[in-house]
Structure 1
Amino acid sequence: MTVSNVLRGMLMACVLSAGVTPLSFAGSSEQFHLTIPTINQEVEIDGDFNEAVWQQAAEVTLKYETSPGENIAAPVTTSAKVFASKSSLYFAFIAHDPAPEQIRVNLRDRDKSWGDDMVGIKLDTFNNARLAYQFFINAYGVQSDSIENELTGQESDAWDGIWYSKGKLTDKGYQVEIQLPLRLFNFDDRHPLQTWGIELIRFYPRNKTHRFSTHKIDRNVSCQLCQLGTATGLEGATQGKDLQITPSLVANQNNQRDASNAGPWDDKTHVEAGVDLRWGITPTTLLNATINPDFSQIEADAGQLDVNNTFALFFPEKRAFFLDNKDYFDTQLELLHTRNISSPDYGIKLTSKTDDHTFAMLAANDEQSQFLVPGNLSSDIAVIDEQSHNVATRYRFDPSKQFSIGGLVTLKQANDYHNYLASADIKYQPTKQDTLTAQYAHSQTAYPEDLFTQFCNNNDCNQDLADCQFGNCALNERVLRTNKEDEFDDGMLNVTYLHERRNWYASSQYQSIGRDFRADLGFIDKVDVNKFVIGGGYMWYPQDNFFNRIELGGDWDISHSENHELLEQEAEMFIEFEGGLQSYMASGIVQRKRVGRRHNPSISDIDNNTTMFDETLAWFYTNLTPIGSLKLELDMYLGDDIDFANNRSATVNMFNPGVEWKLTESLVLDVSHRYQTLDVDDGRLFTANLSDVRLNWQLTLNSFIRFSTVYTHIERDPALYLYQKPDSLYQDLGNELLYGYKLNPQSVFYLGYSDAFVANDDIDSLTQDEKTYFMKVSYAWLL
């Protein structure tokens, strides 16, 4: 039976089951119910509740502690008032505290106040347990918002809406006032009364982080959005015009030079105007468009150490245009990763949800064609110096609360290159403890005839293959995967099953990725792999103990190439603890065998062409907050590894401590350092250090000064390298100083400076080779 027939059978079985399963999988009034009155008055968001309209608002109490206590009575009182106008939802929270001096609150940038005392709102505007908006506010009114996606099980705080809040400390605790304009939300305004899923939440961090809620949360139910309560009301609610136009002006001066001879600077100045459009065509349909966008990174990526690694590094998306309603495109696989669209001149995106149907479309050009070249032992980024056109379209149908079926199509195309992908996926929950997901994708790709040449070692692709052995061969796996004369195609299948209960869970996964499958608008870094995983765990919830949650678990997996050649077999056991000092600790041991690099890189064979290595690795991770102003973190592992540069056994030690120190309520220092060594039989192959230091001074709720520096220092012993002679020393240093003023997430002013330094065997000391001055101003007109 073919893969497509298997998938077709699974789809049919799930559809038939979905039609007859009498289970409720969305917000329920049995959990909690709130009737929101509509009052045609507005209030000033100032943190006080002096207006008479608040006396007419609905009032509710957060009665329950859902974590670490399991639906016990909340130890402190939290009340909230709610009402709606024709254009906004209003909330007022009063958070009582018997010891107000212990309230944890800091002046931070948006989405950076986690760990503070805060209150929050979770809203599912379609009440179908698919997506929920989340809004959290600390006692100073600092905002954090995100989208929770039940399909992927992830929360994304990259989404930023324009809403309003004000908080203030009182002698009895703190209080927060909030306005959520209805233009924020996608919802169906054809109904005279709305029914939304809702939960009101308070986080109370002391020795442990206590979570309070309006209703009980059943730990025996795996779905979180299924356990929302309901809110009815918002009579006659509409989004209004919901038109936002954001013009912007960007200017930068970039200076570069050759650091090896400290040559003259090459200066380039760039000034460009652009405009973004955000139009709510209907309350359920949103159009985003951008012309000449500034898609530069305002905030530097976190430092990553790329050493003894054969696969490309992953960097998350941060650009606002791609993040708005990003969740509408999400599937279980990373088939759309928009950082593969690096420098667009324009973009357009349409997202819509009506009844049980969700649709999303994205189109953008790119000044170049950038994509990932995957393999089963390595991957890398390829770049074609040609403009490309990029399109992604997603559709999802939710015929019942238990069942979703969807499709995704992506296109990336340049002159002599294209990648087309089509995918179908399902999610089925036959019970509140069981979840089945499946996804199949098929791609069709054509590469330029000379694409493989950019991956040839020493730029020599004509070496005699009879002399091609590991270490002295111009060819490698990326050459094998890109040296294609004709169009090629292949498929990918992923099936997972998860059973979750209060005290235990079990899961399994099967994934098959064909050797010629490509997802060039996504991030699939392995192909020519079949992998099977099975695992599970057991949880305890001790009472009156330092630890309030303990989990013991593990899994076993095995991977083969498409020719049934063993790539890796791994078993892992771990234990996790959550408890006092807001602590989380986890430790585990991994026993595996896996292959190294190919002896003869000119052929893709694994058997008789690789060495199988046995490894035992132990790891440990913890983070804790011993005092309110100090958070400590440690990640470490040690044991066996592979020296990929020389294809031999090695021993690795990795030590990665981190500190977040709130020096004052507005000044925060984040420091992390990664120390890694690799030893072989004859000595230490390399010692690598990466330091990442970030200092943030939040001047007001709207303005900040931020400094960051990332320093990499790698020392190697060239005498221990068998096939190459790398530099004995490599250093680089990147710095950034940024002033920012945010009236809201889209109305901003940035002024900054960044530079870069490098050193190696030919450059005795750190020498500056790049510096940039930049400015951006934008303003969101809400019409």
Structure 2
Amino acid sequence: MVVAVFLSAVPAALPQVPSPAASESQRQSETPASAPQRLAVDANHDDNLVIPRLPHGPTLDDFLSMKPAGEAALAMAKVARFLQREPHDGEPVSESTEVYLGYDDKNLYAVFVCHDDPAKVRAHETRREDFEGDDAVEIMLDTFHDRRRAYVFEVNPKGVQFDAIWTEASYAEQTNGNFDVSFDTLWYSRGKITSQGYVAWIAIPFRSLRFPASQDQTWGVVLLREITRENEKAFWPRVSINQEGRLGQAGTAKGLNGISPGRNIQLIPYGLLNSFHSVDDRRPYATCSASIDGCARFQNRDVGGTFGLDGKMILNDSLVLDATANPDFSQVESDEPQVTVNQRYRVYFPEKRPFFIENADYFRTPIDLFFTRNIVDPSGGIRLTGKAGPYSMGILSSDDRAPGLTVSTDDALFKTRDYITIARVARDVFKQSSIGAIYTDWEYPAANSFNRVGGIDSRLKFLPKLTGTLQGVASSTHCDPSFSSYFACSGGNFSGLAYKFGTAYKAALLYTDRHWFHQSTYNDVSPGFFSQPGFVTRVDLREYRYDTSYSFRPKNGPVVSWGPEVYGHFTWDHTGLRLDTDYIPTLSAVLKKQTRIFVTPYEEYRERLRPKDFPVLTQDADFHEHASGIAVSSSPLSQLTLGAQYYWGDAANFVYGLNSKDPQFARYAMPYLARFDQAGAIATIHPFTQLKIDNTYLFIRLRTRETNANIFNNHIIRSKWNWQLNRELSLRVILQYSANLTRNKPGDPANTYPLTFLPTTKNFNTDFLITYGVRWLQQQSAEPGSGAWD
């Protein structure tokens, strides 16, 4: 159990700063009848607008009548011609929507006036960036107007914030989608549901943005309204589903002049008190008794503490230098549950630590060469990211204490560390294409080992609907065999070898329009390729993958879209031996109220295992597997989201038994084909607007084909409660139970485990977190940004 209390300065959804000294009613009474009605033409019939300079910032109250009132509000540019992307591409938004834009010396303002039946609006008072399923509005700002990256500012009808960096990237390049949600900056928002819909007020300080140091600015702008009950996304200007990406369809905003992003220096110290009582499992089993319990020891700390410092500096308006010393990751939420039992390859868990995921898109390439979760316990790090003209760049360097902390105290590598450096540069070419290069360097001096990877890549947008990606890299690796049992390059293609050289290539082609989606990918990874900082789970392969779907989009009725999809892949090793083939047809449907149905009638999978993969095999084993399944999710009410899935069929058991001497179980002492059942269920409940309860259940079971005897049952139950008491204070509790139930009982000799080498385990974990956010707001001219505690 972990209990922690934090006093932090993470940006959150904030109330509007108090209005200027003269009240709005006073300003209205003093405004002459001849006050300017609009300083820019309505942006209704083209993709361009001029954003006017305002005498002062507008307030939320200026728009609660669902139309502008007051000097500043009446001077703002109006955008009203929103067109759907989903479900009916090109048709007008189903509910009237207007956006008003303007700026002053300090901030850019956007006010969304969204007409609707207030009883149908979906909105909750949640913690920041946790309002999935709510209605929302969004402004995207491509401040360098390069059609490649943009700031994203989104709020729900309550004014709760979400911000991110959007990167134009094809399907093949994405690991966490187009959004880099680690981006957090200071901005202001309010929202209110009215009798005619809702109004959302946004103020974005220019000092929170990066843009060229020029007198006159030209930015790309995309505005979005999302009506979740209708599965509707409507944009200004039109962002058609017939074109890949968003920024290539963005509008152009001018009129911004005489503004500066400023040069910010930010220092965030932290202190942490903690206590713990945990198992110390660093002692190798070979050095302890035959009983597993004989290896268990405990680490204890009644009360202890640590401190550190995070720093950020803006250079030349467009480069960001980040540094961290003894970084604090204790506030990072635990991973969402995934099934990790009986997985042949590593399971991908997304990075959650802010230092590593902020601006991670600068290091993204088609082949994942920088998976930051490989850096487990850094004592410090430095990162430089940004853009200068057509060039974008990123450099990150960090150490990692984990290799020296995961070995026993008498090991030669105890308290040693490794070092990782990543460098990436890319240049924009043509309209939305780029070429780039990347270099990664992993050094472990104490173990006389290194891994260096370098290569080039490109993203080419041939047509609005057609995008291609290419990458080629080479690796050079030295691993000292005398140390290899304790760190990343042990085993596999490094078993008993000191040096390896290898190459890897990837090519992908993406086509997308309103109805068709097709992705083709070719991967080629040589036997000697290795990337310690990356996430490359398999080598010695040539692989072709494809994914094709067609969507019917009815004009009327509850069905938004439906259609078939076919996925397949074919894999060979470098000798030409067929390894895997997979064929998965799926029929899916999307209905209103966020309802989705997926049916997989029959998956056909062939998998070849070799003695080099599993030494217990004496010859190749070719498994013919199949699976079927169904998955359903829906949000029938704003207070409730439900989902369930069930899959069944055959699967190889990689966690085979160890009793090879008993003839009855000898066949199970190597990978073998078994029956599997896999199920899952989710339920998200909002008992009231400030409380959100996420519940998850995952289950997988393997049984023998001959007798249906249980091999293992794996259960994961997780319940996460988040209570947002107010904008600053939140309470979060996470309860998780996991159990792996087998026929193996505690005390049984390991070499008698008949069907699986997995022992029976049961774990219960509790996380309890109290977060209080403190903001320091400046108060010059009573605008956002100047001196009062909030």
| Aligned residue in 2 for 1:614 | 624
Counterpart of 1:266 (choices 292, 295, 300) is: 300
SS of 2:629 mapped into structure 1: strand
Deviates more, 1:82-91 or 1:145-154: 145-154
- Give the aligned partner of residue 607 of structure 2: 594
Residue identity matched to 2:226:
F
In the other structure, the counterpart of 2:144 is: 126
Equivalent residue in structure 2 for 1:693, among 705, 719, 730:
719
1:115 aligned onto 2:133: yes
Q: Work out whether residues 66 and 212 of structure 1, in 8 Å CA contact, stay in contact via their aligned partners in 2.
A: yes
Aligned mate of 1:145, from 163, 166, 183: 163
Percent of aligned pairs with the same amino acid: 24
CA distance in 1, matches of 2:265, 2:81: 36
Q: 2:366 aligns with which of 332, 336, 356?
A: 332
Per-residue CA distance 1:91-121 (angstroms, 9 max, x = gap): 1121122x21222110111111121122111
Query: Among residues 475, 486, 495, which one is paired with 1:483 in the alignment?
Result: 495
Once the two structures are overlaid, the 10-residue window that deviates more, 706-715 or 40-49, is 40-49
Aligned 1:148-547 pairs, distance under 5 A: 148-151=166-169, 152=173, 154=177, 155-190=179-214, 192-206=215-229, 208-256=230-278, 266-267=300-301, 269-369=303-403, 386-415=416-445, 416-454=448-486, 479-547=491-559
Q: 1:384 to 1:302 in 2, by over 3 A?
A: farther
Partner AA of 1:35 in structure 2: V
In 1, Cα distance between the equivalents of 2:642 and 2:574? 44
* Equivalent AA in structure 2 for residue 312 of structure 1: R
AA aligned to 2:648 is L
Q: What is the rounded CA distance, in whole Å, between the counterparts of 2:673 and 2:184 in structure 1?
A: 47
- What is the RMSD of the two structures over their aligned residues, measured on CA atoms? 3.0
Determine the structure 2 residue equivalent to 1:35.
Answer: 50
Q: Secondary structure at the match of 1:321?
A: helix
What is the deviation of 1:531? 0.5
Please state if 1:710 is matched with 2:742. Answer: no
CA distance in 1, matches of 2:356, 2:59: 33
Query: Are residue 575 (structure 1) and residue 587 (structure 2) matched?
Result: yes
Q: 1:480 to 1:321 in 2, by over 3 A?
A: closer
CA drift of 1:526 comes to: 1.1
Q: Secondary structure at the match of 1:429?
A: strand
Partner of 2:22: none
Change in Cα spacing, 1:419 to 1:354, as seen in structure 2 (3 Å) is: same
Provide the C-alpha distance between the structure 2 equivalents of 1:535 and 1:263, rounded to a whole number of angstroms: 49
Question: In structure 1, how many angstroms separate the alpha carbons of the residues matched to 2:509 and 2:549?
Answer: 14
**Aligned-residue offset at 1:394:** 0.7
Q: Deviations over 1:382-427 (max 9, x none)?
A: x986211211111001121142101111111111121111121111
Matches within 5 A, 1:9-28: none
**Following the alignment from structure 2 to structure 1, what is the Cα–Cα distance between the partners of residues 371 and 711?**
35
User: Closer, same or farther in 2 for the Cα pair 1:577/1:302, shift >3 Å?
Assistant: same
Question: CA 1:709–1:29 in 2, change beyond 3 Å: closer, same or farther?
Answer: same
Query: Greater share of strand residues, 1 or 2?
Result: 1
User: Are residues 1:64 and 2:95 paired?
Assistant: no
Q: Are 1:627 and 2:627 matched, yes or no?
A: no
| Alpha-carbon contact 1:189-1:236 (below 8 Å) kept | no
Q: What code does the residue aligned with 1:240 have?
A: G
What residue in structure 2 maps to residue 25 of structure 1?
none
Quote the offset at 1:30 in angstroms.
Answer: 8.4
Which of 123, 142, 155 is the matching residue for 1:105?
A: 123
Whether the 8 Å contact between 1:78 and 1:96 is mirrored in structure 2 is: yes
Following the alignment from structure 1 to structure 2, what is the Cα–Cα distance between the partners of residues 599 and 285? Answer: 47
- Does the 8 A contact of 2:314 with 2:320 survive in 1? yes
Deviation at 1:371, TM superposition (A): 14
Q: What amino acid maps onto 1:76 in structure 2?
A: E
Once the two structures are superposed, what CA deviation does each residue of 1:41-61 show, in whole Å capped at 9, x if it has no partner?
A: 345678867763222221211
The change in CA–CA distance for 1:627 and 1:85 in structure 2 (over 3 A counts) is same
Deviation, structure 1 residue 599: 8.0
Q: Give the equivalent residue in structure 2 for 1:643.
A: 653
Change (3 A) 1:131 1:66: same
1:224 Cα deviation from its structure 2 partner: 2.4
Q: Give distance in 2, aligned partners of 1:265 and 1:502.
A: 58
Equivalent residues of 1:63, 1:214 under 8 A apart: yes
2:109 corresponds to: 90
What is the CA distance between 1:325 and its match in structure 2?
A: 1.6
Report the CA distance shift for 1:87/1:326 in structure 2 as closer, same or farther (over 3 A): farther
CA distance in 2, matches of 1:333, 1:658: 32
Measure how far apart 1:82 and its partner are: 1.0
Classify 1:333/1:264 alpha carbon distance in 2 versus 1 (closer, same or farther; 3 Å).
closer
**CA contact under 8 A between 2:439 and 2:453: conserved in structure 1?**
yes
Q: Judge conservation of contact 2:62–2:73 (CA < 8 Å) in 1.
A: no
Can you give the 5+ residue segments of structure 1 that lack an aligned partner in the other structure? 1-27, 373-382, 457-476, 747-779
What letter matches 1:388 in structure 2?
Answer: D
| Kept in 1: contact 2:44–2:80 (CA 8 A) | no
1:664 corresponds to: 688
- The whole-number CA distance in structure 1 between the counterparts of 2:449 and 2:575 is 28
Instruction: Find the aligned partners of 1:180 and 1:418 in 2 and give their Cα distance.
Output: 45
1:649-696 Cα shifts (integer Å, max 9, x gaps)? 111100101100111101111111112111112322111111011111
User: How many angstroms does 1:304 deviate by?
Assistant: 2.6
Is 2:739–2:763's contact at 8 Å kept on the other side of the alignment? Answer: yes
Identify the match of residue 679 of structure 1 among 684, 692, 703.
Answer: 703
TM-score normalised according to structure 1 size: 0.82
What CA distance in whole angstroms lies between the structure 2 residues aligned with 1:312 and 1:204?
A: 38
Deviation string, structure 1 residues 362-381 (Cα, Å, up to 9, x no partner)? 11122134999xxxxxxxxx
Consecutive unaligned residues in structure 2, runs of 5 or more: 1-42, 281-291, 407-412, 657-669, 746-750, 778-786
2:762 corresponding residue in structure 1: 731
The two structures have a TM-score, normalised by structure 2, of: 0.81
Task: State the distance in 2 between where 1:600 and 1:92 align.
Answer: 59
Deviation of the 1:499 alpha carbon: 2.3
**Structure-2 residue corresponding to 1:768:** none
Shift, 1:186, TM fit = 2.5
- Per-residue CA deviation, residues 178-205 of structure 1 (Å, 9 max, x unaligned), is 1111233222122x22111111111122
List structure 1 runs of 4+ shifted beyond 6 angstroms: 44-50, 261-265, 719-725
| Secondary structure at 1:445 match in 2 | strand
Letter in 2 for 1:427: R
2:573 aligned to which of 561, 569, 587 = 561
Match of 2:782 in 1: none
What amino acid sits opposite 2:74 in the alignment?
A: Q
